[in-house]
A and B are shown apart, each in its own frame.
Chain A
């Protein structure tokens, strides 16, 4: 079993960190994972993409040709990367930023990710962790326990509680249909 996940958004949204955490959660479960990224010259702004491949066996090719799961955190990324999703694949969009979802054959979950971070955690910057919660909550690609552990291993000391909360907000958004 091999799963291809594309996480996309804008530079500065923490997309790449979310990808790293997802890959680390997979490793905690004894799986193989590869994370790659593509980025432009901007440190902030511009389309940003993290790719994560999770597999039971060693992974040869590290890039994604067709994604099983696509997360789009910005309109630009959604428009640009919608085409990589396989037919009938899972698409998660951040409804706070994405207003125009391309007409594609996909199982689309639209959730107010950034808005939830802003209103419930008082900071947009937790949107990536909320998104990770949505992704895990809605797909079960890794266990909730593993992703919590992976997040806590990565985030700065003193932010464990708020990051756990961010994940939980994401899990419940992910359960909605």
Chain B
């Protein structure tokens, strides 16, 4: 915890997350990234949506906004555009960002707004008690999929890349140090960065799907994750049932708020208002 206490609102703790929940690990990884970069606390804003993940903003000692369900990126876009000097970090969940907030997600990516979005991906709606989300795998069980889920799930990284994000990575709660590094790179990227952060929900997802304890679920993350650097050396059949972690995509594209500032410089009258 050394170094990151100053970023926590001690008075807001303890947090509301269940024992074994991975969200605390993710929060610490993000705070370490902020610390590592030495971001100016005053100039850093954290925006979240609704859900278990989105409670994280309340524990963080910055200007923080806990918005409405799915809307974090809309607020964040307004904040960043109105005051581009701010570092804006968005914390959201898989349902928050890709179901109710799916439209905002693809458009924030398309605009390449300089926001770093960490998606706490636990494959389920945890706060409401375990309903299926767009990240619930096929055949998995949820309270609203008692007979097994029959929908396909999103690949958040592929979605973000297709929509125009310029930095896309995947990490897990188990690989917490890697996650910090991925968030650091995401914040450093001048554009829309997405970090798909896989986390465990032992209560609402694990139990239903017989995944064991929180420790078992962390072990599952360890066993199923393949570092991106290793993929090229692997046969396709070895990747079956696994997921790739690390930096998955990076590109350079015009960043929205910088483009807007250029537009202002081009059209503004001398002396302004």
Find out whether A and B make contact in their complex, taking CB atoms under 8 A apart as touching: no
